Structure 1
Amino acid sequence: MERRRTAPAKINLALDILGIRTDGYHDMKMVMQTISLCDTVTVEETAEGFHLRTDGDFIPAGKKTLEQRAAEAFFASIDRPMPGLTVTLEKVTPAYAGLGGGSADVAALLRILREAYAPDMPTAELERIGFTVGSDMPFCVRGGTCLAEGRGEVLTDLPPLPDCWLVLCKPDFGIPTPTLFARVDGGELTCRPDIGGMVAALAAGDVDGVAARLGNVFEEVLPEAYHEVFTIKRRLLDLGALNAAMSGSGPTVFGIFREEETAQQAKETLKKRFAQTYLAKPVRKL
């Protein structure tokens, strides 16, 4: 058995943090969107054990990867022993970028396992399995355009983002997510995204209305060391984006463009300074 699936990345069109929960996690309210930037995941049944390779290199042994934990949870849910599996990741989506690349890889693995071993499993059950290993996983399993609440696992399908082009640009640093959550907890957020307005704009098929309401509360607490994020936002606007925002906990910034030619030119311009710059489109439900 060898099966292959794409693992599309995600962006956060809107991201709000409502507060800390009693379990120590945060209550979130987000509008999430699957995009065409993707890795490729291949699963092959082998003699024994679980092996993960990425771009030709084996991951060092030791701590279980998210992929292994998800596979074990999947086979536990269908009450059968896990066969030997080799999972190969062909990476395109940058890591630690706010684009959910790792979660998308795990979600693709789960979709492959369902296809091969439990084709009648409801998507809700696959989302539940994914949630045992990560908060972004249920959305990455479902895909499309969703309102995500709770820790990210309470999903409501939304009308799709109208056709447009996305330019994504990741600066040459990562941002520790716990640092940003700590800064949110220690301050008072004053600039929250209009998520209700964005949902209405999606329902109306109004890409300008969606773009006008892009927002991410993490930007408000971004330490000065990471302010190149704002430089990239300004460049995207100068290059013709309807609007731009940071995705997730960053540092990737995306801009929404109406025309492919304008987006392509913006990508080429930014790529001269930022190697990890990409052109993508929204993807409907997986």
Structure 2
Amino acid sequence: MTIEKKAYAKINLGLDVTGKRDDGYHIVRMIMQNVDIYDTLTFESNDTGEIKLTASSDKIPTDESNLICKVARQLQKEYDVKKGANIHLVKRIPVAAGMAGGSTDGAAAYTALNELWNLGLNIEKLCELAVKLGADIPYCIIGGTALAEGIGEELTTISDMPMCSIVVAKPDIDVSTAWVYKELDSKEIVSHPDIDSIKAAIENGDISEMCANIGNVLEPVTAERYEVIGQIEKLMEENGAIRAFMTGSGPTVFGIFEDDDKAKEAYEVVKESGLAPQVFLSGPINPNKIQ
């Protein structure tokens, strides 16, 4: 039996940090959205008990440090699973991009191995297990458009984001999330995004109002060090984006377009600019509604 899963990337339509817990985790309020950029994972059960991970790129670790392997080991231990799995990852989501590429692969591992090993776990139980390995994984299991609170694990599904085109560009730099949050902690947050207004605009289907309120408290930290982020945003907005902004801790930038043709033109302009070697033309997606 072979199971194939698409693991979709996410962007943050809003990201606010409202505090920090004693254990070091930051308290957040975020609007998360899947986009149609995905990794593909295939899973095949084996009788040896081994977890064998291979990947399309030799830059992807395939040892026990990979979150996919950690998920498999957690499930084996928790449910006394004797079987193993042969897993292959085709990587398309940029690495260290603020798009939950690792977390979404981990989420795919939860849902696939639950099926492959006949564990019979519901979504709530999978999310309960997942948060132990990463705060973004429960969202990646649920997917779609959601408000995330707490450390990211308290999820409220909201109306689907209005349809549009999204250009996503990842410059040739890697950003450490730990560094970004450390820098954030060292200074006062002078402006907080209005997460409730973003949520209301999405539920009203008002893409212009949604874009007007998009904000990310991490952007000033990352963009101050890497000016290419602002350069990409400016280029997207000059070429028809209603708004362009950084997702997560960066450095990836996304631009939202109501006009599909303008999005295609902006995609080509950004590609040709040399500012970002990885550029995608995408759109919002709810994986759970794909037939």
| Structure 1 position 119, deviation (Å) | 6.5
What residue in structure 2 maps to residue 45 of structure 1? Answer: 45
* Residue of structure 1 equivalent to 2:67: 66
Q: What is aligned with 1:113?
A: 113
Match of 1:284 among 280, 283, 286: 286
Gaps of 5+ in 1: none
Give 1:115 shift.
Answer: 2.3
The equivalent residue for 1:219 is: 219
Provide Cα deviations, 1:106-134, integer angstroms capped at 9, x if missing partner: 11111111222347421111111211211
Structure 1 residues 121 and 188: alpha-carbon distance in aligned structure 2, compared to 1, 3 A threshold: same
- 1: distance between equivalents of 2:250 and 2:68? 23
Matches within 5 A, 1:188-267: 188-222=188-222, 224-267=224-267
Whole-Å Cα distance in 2 between the matches of residues 263 and 75 of structure 1? 45
Q: Matched residues in 1 for 2:209 and 2:224: separation?
A: 30
Q: Per the alignment, do residues 28 and 41 of structure 1 end up closer, same or farther by CA in structure 2, a change over 3 Å counting?
A: same
Q: How far is the alpha carbon of 1:73 from its aligned partner?
A: 1.9
SS of alignment partner, residue 218 of structure 2:
helix
**What does 1:87-236 correspond to in 2, within 5 Å?**
87-118=87-118, 120-222=120-222, 224-236=224-236
CA contact (8 A) 2:3 2:112 kept: yes
2: CA distance, partners of 1:223 / 1:93? 21
Q: Secondary structure at the match of 1:68?
A: helix
Using the alignment, how far apart are the partners of 1:52 and 1:73 within structure 2? 15
CA distance in 2, matches of 1:212, 1:119: 44
- Greater shift in the superposed pair: 188-197 or 110-119: 110-119
1:26 corresponding residue in structure 2: 26
User: 8 Å contact 1:98–1:248 — kept in the other structure?
Assistant: yes
Mean Cα deviation higher: 60-69 or 219-228: 60-69
Q: For 1:57 and 1:235, how far apart are their aligned partners in 2?
A: 33
How large is the Cα RMSD of the aligned pairs? 1.7
Q: Structure 2: how far apart are the matches of 1:235 and 1:97?
A: 19
Q: TM-score, normalised by structure 1?
A: 0.94
What residue in structure 2 maps to residue 5 of structure 1? 5
**Aligned pairs, number:** 285
In 2, the alpha carbon distance for the partners of 1:90 and 1:156 equals: 30
**Contact 2:241-2:256 within 8 A present in 1 as well:** yes
**1:68 CA displacement:** 1.4
Deviation at 1:220, TM superposition (A): 1.9
TM-score w.r.t. length of structure 2? 0.93
1:270 equivalent in structure 2: 270
Residue deviations 1:240-264, cap 9 Å, x none? 0010110101000001111211111
Letter in 2 for 1:275: P
| Percent identity over paired residues | 36
Structure 2: gaps (5+ residues):
none
Give distance in 2, aligned partners of 1:224 and 1:271: 23
